[in-house]
C-alpha cells in the first residue's frame, strides 16, 4: 500500500501528458538521484528510501509513492510538495 497517493486531473492528450511526466522525471533524476522507466503509460521510479509509480490516463494522472522508514516522518511535507509539483507540471504543459 502506498504511503502517498495523489490524483491530478488534466486536459492534456496522453502523448502530451507523457511528455510532461518525462520532463518531471528528468528533473527528479537530476535533483534527487532517482531512476525511472516507462512500462506503457506507467512511469516507475526508485531511489534509496522510496519507490513509486505515475500512471497516466485520459484526463488524469495518478501518483503512488511508498516511503522507506526514514522518509515516513516527512510524508506530509513530501505529499504537499509533490502535489504542488504535479499541479504545476500538468497545468504548465496544457
Q: Count how many residues are written for the chain.
A: 94
Element (H, E) at 38: strand 35-39
What number of CA atoms fall less than 13 Å from residue 23's CA on the CB side?
Answer: 13
Range of the domain at 73: 4-92
CATH at 31: 3.30.310.50
Predicted structure pTM score: 0.90
Q: Which residues of 21-53 are buried (b: 16+ CB within 10 A; e: fewer)?
A: beebbeebeeeeebebeeeeeebebebeebbbb
Give the count of domains, the chain: 1
How confident is the chain (94 residues) per 10-residue block, as mean pLDDT? Answer: 92 92 89 94 96 94 95 94 90 60
pLDDT at position 18, please?
Answer: 94
Amino acid at each position: 500500500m502506498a504511503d502517498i497517493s495523489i490524483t491530478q486531473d488534466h486536459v492534456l492528450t496522453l502523448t502530451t501528458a507523457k511528455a510532461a511526466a518525462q520532463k518531471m522525471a528528468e528533473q527528479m533524476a537530476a535533483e534527487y538521484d532517482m531512476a525511472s522507466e516507462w512500462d506503457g503509460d506507467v512511469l516507475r521510479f526508485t531511489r534509496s528510501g522510496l519507490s513509486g509509480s505515475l500512471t497516466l490516463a485520459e484526463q488524469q494522472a495518478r501518483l503512488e509513492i511508498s516511503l522507506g522508514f526514514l522518509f515516513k516522518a516527512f510524508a506530509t511535507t513530501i505529499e504537499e510538495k509533490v502535489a504542488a509539483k504535479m499541479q504545476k507540471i500538468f497545468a504548465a504543459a496544457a
